[in-house]
Amino acid sequence: MNNGCPMNRRCWGIISIGLVVLMTLVGYFYTPYNPSQTAVLLRFQSPSLQHPFGTDHFGRDIFSRVLVGGQVSLILGLISVSLGALVGVLLGLWAGFRGGVWDEVAMRLSDGLQALPIILLALLFATVWQSGVAVILWSIALGNIPVFLRLTRNQVLKIKAQPYLEASRALGASDRRMMFYHILPNLRDALLVQFSLSLAGAILVEASLSYLGVGIQPPQPSWGRMLRDAQSFASLAPWGVLFPGFFIALTVIGFNLLGDSWIHRRYR
């Protein structure tokens, strides 16, 4: 791949994510209209200078709702994946380093969590709790634990065989120091790749859950919820589906491009 920005995966990923983040930051401080304010007389307005993305079936400004909905998708994705990564990395680090019964317990825990898809976890949580942010947060977090657990554990098993760890142990380094000062820093690239890919997956899961009605609830906008609300009017007002769907795709592609660029940089 060329090093020039126009043909570089990393550049395109940064540009895509940067655009989405910039828009959501702007939406945090300013939106042209109240994203929840209805104006029935203005419903199904096509894109114009007054409403760049048009209006929905309640007359709400879609541009304002896309800005605010992006905050929900990005923040929920970041928090949920971070929680899953934190637990998964710590368990994988301990299991890979200690081995034995600890490794066996961690692997069986991973198998159990992987047997439950994130969508199924969300539906189970929705029967216990009220549908909303908590359902998305915990389902995505739990779904990401086995991914990071297995990745970390496998990487630790490879690193344990390196001579410098034996030298560190001979010099009297404690297990804690070896895990957090000698092993964990060497996992950075692999974890960054997985974190980027998991964020892309989290955006899709949030959109899917909100579309199914067990995620973000009205009047709070989210990209998935906007798709759900607009699907019945897609033939009459296609912009209601087009713009939320475009930003979901842009965000997912951006994170995937970043992850792909880290993979190529690591193995080239």
Q: Give the model confidence (pLDDT) of 60-72 as tens digits.
A: 999 999 999 888 8
Specify the CATH architecture of the domain 60-267. Answer: Orthogonal Bundle (1.10)
pLDDT at 86 (0 to 100):
95
The DSSP string of 181-211 is: IIIGGGGHHHHHHHHHHHHHHHHHHHHHHHH
Q: How far is CA 30 from the centre of its chain?
A: 24
**CA dihedral angle for residue 104, residue 108, residue 109, residue 111, rounded to 10 degrees:** 140
Tally the C-alpha atoms within 13 A of residue 172's C-alpha that lie toward its C-beta. 0
Counting DSSP H helices and E strands in the chain, the numbers are 10, 0
Coil, helix or strand at residue 61: strand
For residues 12-41, give the mean pLDDT: 90
- 46: DSSP letter: P
C-alpha to C-alpha distance for 226 and 146, rounded to whole angstroms: 31
The answer to whether residue 161 scores a pLDDT higher than 90 is: no
pLDDT tens readout for residues 208-226: 888 887 878 777 888 888 8
Core vs surface per residue 237-265: b (16+ CB within 10 A) or e: bebbbbbbbebbebbbebbbbbbbbbbee
Q: What is the pTM of this model?
A: 0.86
pLDDT at 1 (0 to 100):
46
C-alpha to C-alpha distance for 71 and 138, rounded to whole angstroms: 18
For residues 125-137, give the mean pLDDT: 79
Tokens 């380094």, residue located = 173
Phi/psi of residue 32, nearest 5 degrees: -60, -35
Residues 150 and 89 sit within 8 Å (Cβ to Cβ): no
pLDDT at 219 (0 to 100):
79
Domain boundaries, the chain: 60-267
